[in-house]
Structure 1
Amino acid sequence: MSFTGSLVLSGIGGLVYKYGGQQSERETEVPVGFQSLTIGFFQARIRVFRTRLETLSRTFWRQLVETSGYKYPIRGVSEMFRSGAYFFPWARAFAFYLVLYLTIAFIYFCTILPVYLALLAFLGPIGFAIAYLHFLLHSNMLTMMVMRFTQLHNSLFDLALVHNGKEIFVKTAIQSPTLPKRYYVPLNTYYFWLNYLPWRIFIFGFGFTVLIVLLLISFIPIIGPFIFNALISPFIARIYFSRFLRLKKLDNKQRNDEFYFNFGTYVSFGFVAGQLEILPFVSGLIYSSNSVGGGLFAIKALDSEHAAAPSGATAAATAAVSGSQARQDTTVA
């Protein structure tokens, strides 16, 4: 029950995270014509995949180390406990974590733990110790799956920016009436029924299968939760960085590009953040410090963008060309 309940709550939170806080806009450049709806569709998917793969192979290892993403979860801990400004937000998040963890742990204790005790009974006292330790780690892992989608980290992320000199950026973004766009494909098109819907079903089915495999790995006594968090590390970072990308008003296509074009950075940050979230109770605090660490990394990114910003005319021309190309290749991505 704790396992199923965690999946359901994570799924609901994931839907809110994916679709909430945005304005829907109809996709205008929907492919038409026989060639575009057949071989052209697959050519576009292959082109997107090849572009992302080439970018990953060229930048992954450099981003993994040079961007220093792995340092920011640690810096988040230092920043959060050094300033009293973060106290009430992290205390609120920790209180919610406690309630959630104790609930999931209790259900786990009554349902799944007896299975481990029976399977490991042949090891004697050592088997019982392994079962109970895994119970603590695994129930915490399931709790954190839900916690990351609560979006309680948004206030801490914003506070980290405000507390470190980016108040204007945060206030401007929040007060702006413009929400990030999420493009959708209209139902009354051949493209939706012949290409988009079957493709999305395949993608969601593949993703669900991968998730089930990862969750099965997490059932390995003691080391399972460590492996699980390591394997989902880029997606952990994606959740913590999502607030930044939405404050920048990036649409869903641009956010996808950010993820793949900076994959090494996401792995670097997410791996350390995920491993710090392993221990029960401590992870309730680390959830908040990782949010602060994400804010500190966003400050670094903003400073880098400001330093490298081209002239207005050049920026406008570059944005126009990039946007046009992105729409051609990632329509419906």
Structure 2
Amino acid sequence: MSFTGSLILSGIGGLMYKYGGQQAVKEEDLPVGTRGLTLGFIQVRIKVVKERWGRVSTNFWNTLVRSGGYKYPFRGVSEMFRSSIYVYHWGRAFAFYVALYLTVAFVYFITILPVYLALLAFCGPIGFAIAYLHFLLHSNMLTMLVVRFTQLNNTLFDLTLTHNGKDVFVKRALDSPTLPIRYYIPMNTYYFWFNHLPWRLTVHFIQFIALLTLLLISLIPILGPITFNALISPFIARLYFSRFLRLKKLDNKRRDDEFYFNLGLYISFGFVAGQLEIIPFVSGLIYSSNSVGGGLCAIAALDAEVAAPAISNQNGTTGEVREPTVA
């Protein structure tokens, strides 16, 4: 349970996060013909990489520092404990965290901890102290892998927006019968078998190797869990921001665009959020305050959406208004 079980539960949660709460729509504009399924596919992949790199290189510094994403996890702590309206939601999440953490820690204690104690025995009492401290941090890291994917605090995120004047936005989104779209490639096409499936298998294999590498890094006593959270910073933020993008009814392609366009913001928010989640038990509370912080960041984005057209009108400029983001 401690290691394998946490990964399995995280995987299940990841699938629910990726595919749940959306309407599946068949992708219509698919390449056909020999050229489209060979050279055309490669050209499209190269174009996507160039576009994403262009977004990252253009906006990275601005979204990393000037967006102030690193401030929102701290603001979330202040907001959550300042108002009693959040107590039920963070209390429920904390109870779930404690139950899961104690389970993971118990299994870790009887399976993995003895290995560390044996390996660090030559260091004497200091080695035992390092082993036990790593046991607490690593168990917490594995627990948080599962907790984040539960999306348990979606209602807390909504409450943050409602409590801070965005009740109309939340009500309109929740009352709307339209679900965010997730485009898929139908299996009864040549494109699926010759291009899409091999490509996705390659991507998933690379992701598996990356995850395995990160997990090996996390095994380093004490520093491992801290480094692990730092390296997955943008993906931590992506989980906390996902509720906002789905309330806005963005499809899966546009959500990916938002991630790369605002990568600096995702890194700055995710790094601070992840480091605050390092300490056992405290992280059970920080999980909720990070959700509140994500909500406050979303509120800033909604306010910016309103301000942008007004500024354009005052300056007498017209043109395409880019889809608002969490930046």
TM-score category, normalised to shorter length:
over 0.9
Aligned position for 1:219: 219
Partner SS state of residue 295, structure 2:
helix
Q: 202-211 vs 67-76, which deviates more?
A: 202-211
Q: Spell out the pairing of 1:1-333 with structure 2 (5 A cutoff).
A: 1-309=1-309
Taking the aligned partners of 1:50 and 1:30, their CA distance within structure 2 comes to: 20
How much has 1:128 moved relative to structure 2? 0.1
Taking the aligned partners of 1:52 and 1:181, their CA distance within structure 2 comes to: 21
Taking the aligned partners of 1:55 and 1:94, their CA distance within structure 2 comes to: 37
Taking the aligned partners of 1:248 and 1:33, their CA distance within structure 2 comes to: 36
Taking the aligned partners of 1:176 and 1:82, their CA distance within structure 2 comes to: 31
Letter in 1 for 2:191: Y
Flag as ranges the 4+ runs of structure 1 deviating above 6 A. Answer: none
Letter in 2 for 1:67: S
Mark the runs of 5 or more structure 1 residues left unpaired by the alignment.
Answer: 323-333
Taking the aligned partners of 2:268 and 2:321, their CA distance within structure 1 comes to: 29
Taking the aligned partners of 2:137 and 2:156, their CA distance within structure 1 comes to: 25
Partner SS state of residue 220, structure 1:
coil
Q: Indicate conservation of the 8 Å contact 1:230/1:271, yes or no.
A: yes
How much has 1:318 moved relative to structure 2? 6.4
How much has 1:250 moved relative to structure 2? 0.2
Cα RMSD (Å): 1.3
Question: Could you report, residue by residue, the CA deviation over 1:80-111 in whole angstroms, capped at 9, with x for unpaired residues?
Answer: 00000000000000000000000000000000
Partner SS state of residue 183, structure 1:
strand
Q: Indicate conservation of the 8 Å contact 1:72/1:269, yes or no.
A: yes
Letter in 2 for 1:265: L
How much has 1:147 moved relative to structure 2? 0.2
- Number of residue pairs matched? 317
Taking the aligned partners of 2:214 and 2:7, their CA distance within structure 1 comes to: 13
Letter in 2 for 1:241: F
Partner SS state of residue 221, structure 1:
coil
Q: TM-score w.r.t. structure 1 length? A: 0.93
Q: TM-score w.r.t. structure 2 length? A: 0.95
Question: Could you report, residue by residue, the CA deviation over 1:134-165 in whole angstroms, capped at 9, with x for unpaired residues?
Answer: 00000000000000011111011101000000
Q: Indicate conservation of the 8 Å contact 1:25/1:181, yes or no.
A: yes
Question: Could you report, residue by residue, the CA deviation over 1:281-304 in whole angstroms, capped at 9, with x for unpaired residues?
Answer: 000000000000000000000111
Taking the aligned partners of 1:55 and 1:162, their CA distance within structure 2 comes to: 31
Q: Indicate conservation of the 8 Å contact 1:153/1:240, yes or no.
A: no
